[in-house]
Chain A
Amino acid sequence: MTLERTVVWVHRDDLSPLSPALVSHPDAPAIFVFDDELLREWKISFKRIVFIYECLLELPVTIRRGDSVSEVTDFAAKHGSNRIVTSSSPSPRHAQIVSQIAQRSEGRLSVDIIERTPFVHAPRKLDLRRFTYYWNAVKDNVLGS
């Protein structure tokens, strides 16, 4: 049996100490990466960086700057890990990073995504063409009435 060593990758959609990825792996080393490409592409302003950094200082994470795929992979290698845990995100960039980590490591690293607490359990597949359709479908569940 192989002992599974896990690291947690924290991303900027989930900067809470109650992040399901952190809470479910309290002893695992964790990392956050300021992604250079994202900072450049979105021209993320200094005030946004300060806010995110202040959030990070309350989390048990190593903070790095660079390319997310390289930094997370390197962090996992440093800790002799073969499994990365992260929380879910709707961002296509998140999905891209997850798949590139698996690809570049040629299968040595697996990435598990933990779902964050949903706002509402949808009663059925939601019609998202307009907010009104969505709201009418979820309203009672959301308000608990």
Chain B
Amino acid sequence: MMDLKRDFANRDELIAYLRDEFAEAAAVDDHVSETRGGRAAAEAQLAKLGKGKDYEASRNYVHGPVSRLSAYIRHGVLSLAEVRDAAVAKERLSEDAEKFVNELAWRDYWQRVYAEIGDGIWDDREPYKTGWDRERYADQLPDDITAGDTGLPCIDAFVRALYETGYLHHHVRMWLAAYVVHWRRVKWQAGARWFLSHLIDGDPASNNLSWQWVASTFSAKPYVFNRENLEKYTEGEYCKECPLYGRCDFEGSYERQQRRLFPNADPSVFGGEDRRSFGRGRGRGRR
């Protein structure tokens, strides 16, 4: 086999070369991410890391101060330890970096689980707690989802962003995953394969086990959201002018979503917990 080329005058020349060398992939989707690979780009991004308390307060907003380091961490361009050290060094009290470091720890946790179970990350770790057997979930993603043509402006915009940028904010990943698994009742594995194909930071462990967390096959209950939650954390970006406002698939309280989506679920799965438990402290090391 020939060695592949290493010298390029600029990024355009590199991309043109790769479009020829990897023509099969480019034929499917030839978008290029704005996120540049390499240690220099990684260090520049790391230098922009903000204060821990700001991160903690606003990380769930899609335009919040997330680090955008996930692609570099996933490929080992930056180690978790050095990102942690950089975050702690910015603080007078190391505790102020705790939430951010906790999110880094999610990734370490997924990697440790992966080392232990290997390809078992593709199997349901536990049964679904949704009241539906796994046979009731479709094997494949419906075409309208992969085409970004569901008619739901928020979901379709998330799909376009996945294809065009290879990056989704962690909250968007949770909404999209919940929509696929719970609203459309598709096996989480189909969604996980889809994300792995496109996310620049796609890592089988973090990705699959997070999908399992949403699905409830690696958590005590399924993750769902509602329009109010999406509207708040996108700051109205999609809801403001949405023709479906007030009558979309996500309207109503969390209790209503649960009753509608999981009529056969054991009530104790949701017992006594209010909606705040869905949006807080459940990030999966995705930034």
Contacts and interface: CB of A to CB of B under 8 A. Distances in A.
A45 interface: yes
B14 A119 contact: no
Nearest to B119: A92
A120 B200 CA distance: 25
Contact of A120 (B26, B40, B108): B108
Interface stretch (A1-9, A15-23, A98-106): A15-23
Interface stretch (B110-118, B130-138, B150-158, B231-239): B110-118
Nearest to A120: B108
Contacts of A63: 3-4, 6
A54 B80 contact: no
A142 interface: yes
B195 to A, nearest CB: 11
B256 interface: no
Contacts, number: 173
A16 B78 CA distance: 7
Interface residues of B, number: 69
Interface residues of A, number: 54
B22 A49 contact: yes
B112 A134 contact: yes
Interface of B: 1-4, 6, 8, 14-15, 18-19, 21-22, 24-26, 28-33, 35-41, 71, 75-82, 84, 88, 94-95, 97-98, 101-102, 104-106, 108-109, 111-116, 118-119, 165-166, 193, 196-200, 202, 204-205
